[in-house]
Amino acid sequence: MLVGDGHLTPRERVEAGDVLGRLGDPRPGVGTLLVRGSPSPARRERGTGGEGPASLPDILWVEIPPGPFRMGSSDDDKMAWGDEKPQHLVDIPYTYWISRYPITNAQYRPFVESGGYDESRYWTKEGWAWRTREQRSRPYFWDHPRWGLSNRPVVGVTWYEAVAYCNWLGERLWEAGGQLSVWHGNQTEILRLPEALVVRLPTEAEWEKAARGTDGRRWPWGNQWAAGRANTAEAGIGETCAVGCFPAGTSPYGVCDAAGNVWEWTGSLSWPYPYRADDGREDLEAKGPRVVRSGSWDDNQRYARCAYRDGDIPDDFGNAMGFRVVVSLALQGSDF
């Protein structure tokens, strides 16, 4: 965490986070590592080889156990919208790992600098067509003096860019030995990945379970709104902040910033409930709006509820649009 509970006001936490961002934030799960590993085909073609170290995002992963959870909103939640209902049990029958924080600018930078925007194999067909048409080579707000600070969540990314980053990251993880640094409270565990697992955007079900646990709570910390636990409009920050600035808002599993700060892309098409992972909504090549979760610095508590879901077109981006990643099973309909 950036700071312990109760020591600084939200504004002071944000200012402290920006100082760290300028000096070099040393927290695990926020920056990058230098690693050695076998080169990808793209690196071989560029003549970079595999002899020297390369930057790898230093992601801290949180393990989410298999089992059912309550998805959506109950009828007694007066803030709920119709597309959050009915509340229903969804069983996720496998373990998955989700990044403890949204992907930061520092963690996105190796994708930009290693030529990820020029490698069509990382992109969906529609995504590559968008990349070719727009000639984008980095996120829209990449050089912003504040939003671009290394330990703030990357913003200005489309769904297409987030998917491409996931595919690039999966390749880089395997090059580096296929290991995850898994967060367990005051210690971390190094886990070697089975070959069946891939890096991808979370499904909206995976995102929601990681954010709220199994009991259907409204916000990551419980059923009552509490000031000072999220970077939402109520906090008055007016922009993104370094990840981990609101430790009291951590989810039951230890996921940070799941309420506010930035909207987070999921892999799921914005289809009605009940949620089913096998009905086509997780097809990465299908057309249509994709679900975003979390609310942002510019939204109030209603939109930061764990069950709130919105749909955005895949080429949408803004200064409140980011994402986090999971390591999990490949899903039906994905070509990656």
State the SS3 of 61-119.
EEEECCEEEEECCCCCCCCCCHHHCCCEEEEECCCEEEECCCCEHHHHHHHHHCCHHHC
pLDDT of residue 42: 41
pLDDT of residue 118: 98
Adjacent-strand bridge partners of 187: 184
Nearest to 317 by CA among 140, 66, 117: 140
pLDDT of residue 7: 72
CB proximity list for 62: less than 8 A, separation 6 or greater:
97, 98, 99, 100, 182, 183, 210, 253, 254, 255
Calculate the dihedral angle through the C-alpha atoms of 226, 229, 232, 237, rounding to the nearest 10 degrees. Answer: 120
Give the predicted TM-score (pTM) of the model. 0.93
300 near 319, Cβ under 8 Å?
Answer: no
pLDDT of residue 136: 94
pLDDT of residue 2: 56
Q: How far apart are CA 147 and CA 155, in angstroms?
A: 7
Residuewise pLDDT in 10s, the chain (336 residues)? 555 555 788 889 899 999 999 999 999 999 998 776 544 444 433 333 444 568 899 999 999 999 999 999 999 999 999 999 999 999 999 999 999 999 999 999 999 999 999 999 999 999 999 999 999 999 999 999 999 999 999 999 999 999 999 999 999 999 999 999 999 988 899 999 888 889 999 999 999 999 999 999 999 999 999 999 999 999 999 999 999 999 999 999 999 999 999 999 999 999 999 999 999 999 999 999 999 999 999 999 999 999 999 999 999 999 999 999 999 988 754 443
Q: How far apart are CA 266 and CA 256, in angstroms?
A: 16
279 token code pair: 């009905």
Nearest to 185 by CA among 5, 60, 30: 60
Nearest to 93 by CA among 222, 203, 255: 203
Angle among Cα 234, 292, 72 to the nearest 5 degrees reads: 85
Adjacent-strand bridge partners of 311: 291
Burial class (CB in 10 A: 0-12, 13-18, 19+), 236: exposed
- Which domains are present in the chain? 10-329 (3.90.1580.10)
260 near 294, Cβ under 8 Å?
Answer: yes
Nearest to 298 by CA among 201, 191, 155: 155
